[in-house]
Each structure stands twice: as structure tokens, then as C-alpha cells.
Amino acid sequence: MSSPHDTVVIVVCKAPEKGRVKTRLAKDIGEERACHVYSVMMAMLFANLHAGVDYDVCACVDGDITLVQAGNLEPIPQRGEDLGERIINSMEDCSGYPKMIVIGSDTPTVTSSVILRAMNDLNTADVVIGPAADGGYYLLGMKEIRRELFNNINWSTDAVCAQTAEHARAHNLRISKLETLRDIDTVHDLQAVMPSLFDALRYS
């Protein structure tokens, strides 16, 4: 890709379709409300990123790609059987950037300052990890695709971040860790991270 920026931020997300997003949250508040929450989270995240300021932003979408119009690059479909494959493939689909940063859509509090910190850390680190409070990670940055970081990971468990860091250390890669942030997966997460939205749903 030709761009004046040296960094691409890839947002791995789902199309906001009822019944396919925030399924754990939907058990408490229903599928329609869960889908609304996810749409609000996505809007907040992309607004926070300030697309196109110092980096390009591309949405990598699972589901109907036409439902996601965010970032300054055309959205791309997700490819792969598990999260590791999807992250690797998204990086390959956005190749050509000296720095690649992948973030999830479950952490709407990621801001441009977090991205800029990751970009700066990649000047000296091989891998930048943004740990999530649940044991996963909300951000993974690198200058080249390191497939070894995605082997034998217990995806969707609280061991993901620790296993990824362990793989990086085993291959003598320099790691930088960002601040820990909280994903929104349950109603308790929603109340803690986005209390105003929680209250709006609670009293609607």
C-alpha cells in the first residue's frame, strides 16, 4: 500500500449484526441491546483513533463488510480459522507498512495516545503488547509478522497475553508492554467502562 504514514492500525472487528456480537453480554441484556452496545463501542473506538492523523486505520471485518464504514482505508474481510490466523492474515493484507498495530474492538477506551505510544515503542522493541484485564491483549504491534507468536496459544482464555509474551521471550524478541485496559464482554464490564451507556440501557 502507498501511504505517507509508516504505520497501519488494523481493527479486528465484527459487523454489528444482532445475534453475532457480544454474545456473553446478550445473555444479560438481550441480543438487540448487545448489538446496540457493540455499535456504540465501535463508534467510540474509531472516533478515539483519529484516523489518518499519524497513521492509517483499516477495519478487518468478520461478517457483512458493508456494515462497517470506519477508518481511512477500505475495510477488508477477515480470513482464518482462529484469532491467530486472522491477525496474521490481516497483517499480510495490509502489508507495506514498516509498523503494524492490531487492536480488537472490545476495548473502546483505546485512544490515539495509546497508538502513538505503541508506535514510539516499536522504534526499539520488536513486539508491543497491550494487556487486557481478562488475560488477553487489546493491542499487538510489530514491524514484521512473527508467526511464532501465534503457535500453541489457548485462544479465548486468560493465558493469551502471558503465552504470547513467553513465545516472544523464547525467540529473544524485545517486548514493550502498554497499560492494562479492560475489555467489555459482560454487563459488569459495561458498567465499569461505559457507565453512562449502562445507565441509559438500564432505565430505557
Residue 126 CA, chain-centre distance (Å), reads: 19
pLDDT tens digit string along 12-57?
999 999 999 999 999 999 999 999 999 999 999 999 998 657 999 9
pLDDT at 184 over 60: yes
Mean pLDDT for the chain overall = 93
Q: Over range 127-148, report the average pLDDT.
A: 96
Q: Over range 197-201, report the average pLDDT.
A: 87
C-alpha cell at 177: 508492554
pLDDT at 199 over 60: yes
- The larger pLDDT score, comparing residue 1 to residue 26, is at 26
The reported pLDDT for the residue numbered 203 is 61
The reported pLDDT for the residue numbered 176 is 98
Contact 1, 8 (CB under 8 A): yes
CB half-sphere exposure, 58, CA atoms < 13 A:
26
Any idea what DSSP says for residue 67? G
pLDDT tens digit string along 150-178?
999 999 999 999 999 999 999 999 999 99
What is the domain class of 7-202 according to CATH? alpha beta
Calpha distance 77→86 (Å, rounded): 10
Handedness of CA 18, 22, 23, 29 (dihedral sign): negative
The reported pLDDT for the residue numbered 194 is 92
For the chain, domain boundaries = 7-202
Contact 138, 132 (CB under 8 A): yes
C-alpha cell at 111: 485512544
CA distances (Å), origin 201, targets 65, 137, 140, 169: 27, 27, 32, 44
